[in-house]
Amino acid sequence: MPVKSPCNGTCMLDPRSGYCMGCYRTGDEIGSWMTMSDGTKKRVISKTRQRRAELKNATTASCSD
């Protein structure tokens, strides 16, 4: 079964992090998605989950300062 793109249609790169604000991929990852192997896509999705959590924690920490 092919690996589904994590794109949710919120396509805007955050200038500070360099990640898409919708799917947390980099511009390079977005551009290369169609030619990536399923294994690479799964690794990218794993990274996006980490990025989402890290950015959420950073935002929460800065709001509580």
Burial profile 17-50: b = 16 or more Cβ within 10 angstroms, e = fewer: eebbeebbbbeebbeebeeeeeeebeebbeebee
pLDDT at 17: 92
pLDDT tens, per residue, the chain with 65 residues: 899 999 999 999 999 999 999 999 999 999 999 999 999 999 999 999 999 999 888 877 666 66
pLDDT at 55: 87
Residues 9, 57, 27, 31: is their CA dihedral positive or negative? negative
Domain boundaries, the chain: 11-65
Question: Minimal CA–CA distance to 47: which of 33, 34, 61?
Answer: 33
Statement: the pTM of the whole predicted model exceeds 0.75: yes
pLDDT at 64: 64
